[in-house]
Amino acid sequence: MKNIPSRPALLLALMDSLISGCSKHQAALGAGSVDLLAMLTVERDSLRSALVNRTESAGIAESATQILNRERDDATLATRKGRDFVYAQLGKHDTRLVEFGLDSLRRRNGTGNGSSVPGGSGESPPDAGGNENGDNTQP
């Protein structure tokens, strides 16, 4: 006896064949074939409907993901433009930037008048090891 497939598409094909055979040979199968045919038809239609629903749901989920990704990209671009506008208006070192959710950049020690960190000495940190080029990676 042939195994009944668990995959919906294969099961539908088998059910279609079984229904077709029951319809053609109703007289040979006897009185029970009418009830069998009705039951198979109802179950096949339910399975087909569920399979179509799953396929549509997958399409809807894919569409929803595409919409979400597009909206995320648009929101990222708008945020980037907003951040750039605020930086252009206030500069990157303004302390008010935290009110916009942005980090202010510390001023670099390019003038020689001390460290960018309050209370710092302005000296460079001690050498952490490595070669004369400052490379401390393993050979």
User: What pLDDT does residue 138 have?
Assistant: 56
pLDDT at 123 over 90: no
Distance CA 50, CA 43 (A): 10
User: What pLDDT does residue 71 have?
Assistant: 95
As a three-state string, the secondary structure of 30-41 is CCHHHHHHHHHH
Range of weakest confidence among 43-47, 62-66, 118-122, 130-134: 118-122
The mean pLDDT value for 106-116 works out to 60
Q: Which of 18-32, 60-74, 123-137 has the highest mean pLDDT?
A: 60-74
Distance CA 30, CA 17 (A): 18
Say which residue, 36 or 134, is predicted with more confidence. Answer: 36
Place of tokens 């004369």: 132
Which amino acid does the sequence have at 53? Answer: N
Q: pLDDT digit string (tens) for 11-64?
A: 999 999 989 988 888 888 888 888 889 999 999 999 999 999 998 999 899 999
pLDDT at 1 over 50: no
User: What pLDDT does residue 46 have?
Assistant: 93
Q: Which of 23-27, 67-71, 106-110, 112-116 has the highest mean pLDDT?
A: 67-71
**This model's pTM is above 0.85:** no
Nearest-CA neighbor of 92 among 102, 101, 79? 102
Nearest-CA neighbor of 116 among 87, 93, 89, 91? 93
